[in-house]
Structure 1
Amino acid sequence: MTYEEFHPYSFTDAAGQPQGMSIDIMRRIADTAGRKVVFLPNRNPAGMLEELRSGAAEVTSLLALTPERLAAGLATQKLGAFELQVFVRGSGSIQNLGDLTGTTVGVVRGSFAISGARLIPFANLVEFETTDDLILPLLTGEIDAVVSAHNSFLMRLRMAEVEDRIAPLSPPLVTSAYGFVVAADNEPLRAQLNAAIDSSISAEFLAKLEQTWFGRSRTLWDNVLVRWGLLISAAMLAAILVLGYWFFYYRNQSAELTRDRASDQLLIGALDEVAAAIVIFDSDLKAIHWNHGFEVIFPSMVPSLKKGATMRQMILQSYFDGTIQNDLSDAEILKKVDGIIEALHRGQSEMRKVRTQDGRVFQARDVRLGAGHFASLRVDVTQLQHQQDTIAQQAVSLEVANEELRTFSAIAAHDLKAPLFSLLNLIEFMAEDMEEAGITLPQDVEANWLQMERLSHRMMRLVQDLLVYTTTQSESHRSEVIEPSPRLQEVLDLAGPREGIEVIIEANMPHLRVNPIAFDMVMRNLIVNALQHHDRNRGTIILSAQSDGDVVTLSLQDDGPGIPEEHREQIFAPFHRLSASTEGSGLGLAFVKKTVESWGGNVQVRPAQPRGAVFEVSFPRSAMQSETVDLRQTAG
């Protein structure tokens, strides 16, 4: 069995042995089935599935049974469910899932939580290496929320003793059943595992394991200091009866000090669990505590901390000894550090980014903790910074590529215009010559001649529109109110009807406000797609539209072979073709989807009855509201 480091479901302990709820379940199943199990560690779910496909492993640890994973292997019986939960600061302003729009959300890299977090509208996802890495950024406000498996994250909060400061939002964001995944070609093993599950894995066994690995929520009585405080309070209450009011006053003072100490210990325990560099200072900014992460990240500064260095001395040391990259003079460094200390005393906390000489990038923040303490936080964001740098570089490259593409399109359209113009003139000259010579064409030849002339004009219009389209910087800037019905007839002429296939265009469709050139290209791609993939000599394609509430939907229905359900999403991917026997690059439907979404609509496909497919393109209702004004202006 291959397993991932996903504490406490599966992980490798300090002795190098596999542990966790998933491991215990598999050991019990293997014992029942009379099988020996060898555990192979892996970094993440994708790695486990790769080992499954390569034959390096026969079964994975517990996984959420998503469609992608079920496509890679065979699932056993469901043993429970992962609940993806959103966690926020208990004292924060986020009270429900609706408040999450546009927030910064932390997730563990490569986890199932990423797909759930993408359900939050306009969320800015920040990926961390481990679950523990999520706690401090959430406590300090660097991220607004965390999306993680409910039980595992709650367990980490309990271990860090900050469960009372972070709260889950209800309901869960996603609930996904989980089970083991067996290699796709090993049905006998799945059957054997399912039989063992039926005979040895009961609800009581799973509940006991869950409490063993996840624990339970702490109560007030679990706190040793609270229990001692209650005993002391009882003793002091008896003393109050003897000593009177003054002893009562001092008892209250003692209880308050006890609570303060308990809070300090709670915070220190949480900081020691977080993989970040953290130093706690007293009211004089003298270092009194630092976590293990600081010793690992900045080992050269530990001796100074042990000697009781102040925050000012620590920051100055990082600049003067070359730990932090900078091109400041000594005077400028002193001025900068003094400014940080002065701002901190005024209660101001500024997030800044620092780079070390070895190429690492840290988010640095110095904050006040209550009335008598301060803290310096240094979080390693090197990988995130590299990603941001890569994205910025890619954005520049993409803009260059787009500009080159626009230039190429303009040149291509311009070069096509000249021979088309010559063709139109040649048709006109030939018609004049035949009229002067008194030549009368047969009826069928004359019909073909007129069709050739009409299509040549359509082609010239298309090239002219393409020239305009390539110079348009914004879709909304070129939008117009159009009548779909007659325009679709022109689109059909350019698409080239197929003999035996009747195309019916509904009259009096609702007016639309769109970029007309983009509309033509979208509909021509859909019509050509339906004509090319029709599997019979005779058939019908129907174009219609309807208005429903906030949207207008234009439908193209054919009676061809239809599209299997498993391919209805894939057909919109670039270069995806259902059949190698039809012409095309596989880019048509990808262009349709991208263009339709750019104007705020969407495109989807569903089966037609009794056969065939229906492509539906939606247009925002706001476009129709704008249309009313434009039509009145036109009529006036």
Structure 2
Amino acid sequence: MHNLLKRQLKKYLSENLSEDDALNPFLTAVERSYENYDDKLSMLQRATTISSEELYAANRELENEAQRQNHILNSLEKAITSLEANLEHKNQLDYNSENEFDAEKLAKHISDLARKVANMAMEKDNLLKDLKTQNESLNNYAHIVSHDLKSPIRNISTLMNWILEDEKGKFSPESSINCSLITQNLEKMDKLIDGILEHATMGTTNENYVSFSLKSVLDNLKQTLYIPKNINIIYADTLPILFCEIKRIEQLFMNLIINAVTATEEIEQGIIEIKAKDQGDYWKFSITDNGKGIPENHQSSIFEMFKKLDTDSKSTGIGLALVKKIVDLYEGEISLKSEENKGTTFFFTLKKPYDRST
């Protein structure tokens, strides 16, 4: 028997019993009951250690899961707050991360917001369809009105030419001048109608994007536009190759060049300089002249329809409005810097094209 156990038992036995051999079977039975005590104790301690480690790991996993769930709830709360703000939702969900989480209430609230988003998307589609229909009607109306206006204007112009030819010599000098003014105003009205139609339909027609040299476009404009001998147009041979709708770019530079020519035609030596600079996603251009400049009180409204310089009787007031609309179509910006009797510089950017098939 284990010495410690035997000594402990004999402490409580009388002296005659502790030496009695008849007690040996009892002591042997007790000894056998404690044979596996150490092993069992070791197994119990090991099981306790394992259970403690598993419990610790489980607690850590629960803690991580709780943090993840809390993060999800915070994200949901932010998403719902954003949706409510955009939808101007009045029945806001009374949710606080410290309060008891009601999944059913949250699901119902999200469903309600989703329905509102779906309704807004449907309304947006309907508005876009209506806008498309109205744009088509407006374009048709613009074409019809321009045709109906241009026909009588051209008829009047033809009749005036006939009258001048048939009655040549019968008109007084003053009447001849007046007839000439009528013809000039008819031509101006014809150009004005063309400009209005061009501005109204700008962006509704799809023109193919092509690669072309800006220098070649400017070379052609110098040949086709009337450029007085006192004006010199300067640009480098290294102007960029553009991938754009060539007709719109021609129209943009044509209107700005005509504007610069008008500003410099009355000075002794007019200079128009065109520059280009690569700015990553954009091309930046400038067109500078040394002409009469634009008065400060006109600079803020020069790009509006029918806005023109008071001294410029030939202008229709549409050219620069068309320029701005083309720049807008290419997601660019346009501005100017001008000083009277010193000249003007127009700055504008054009966004480089992207792959429209993606």
Normalised by the length of structure 1, the TM-score is: 0.31
With CA pairs under 8 Å and 6+ residues apart, which has the higher RCO, 1 or 2?
2
Choose between structure 1 and 2: higher helix proportion: 2
Normalised by the length of structure 2, the TM-score is: 0.48
| Greater radius of gyration (CA) | 2
Choose between structure 1 and 2: higher strand proportion: 1
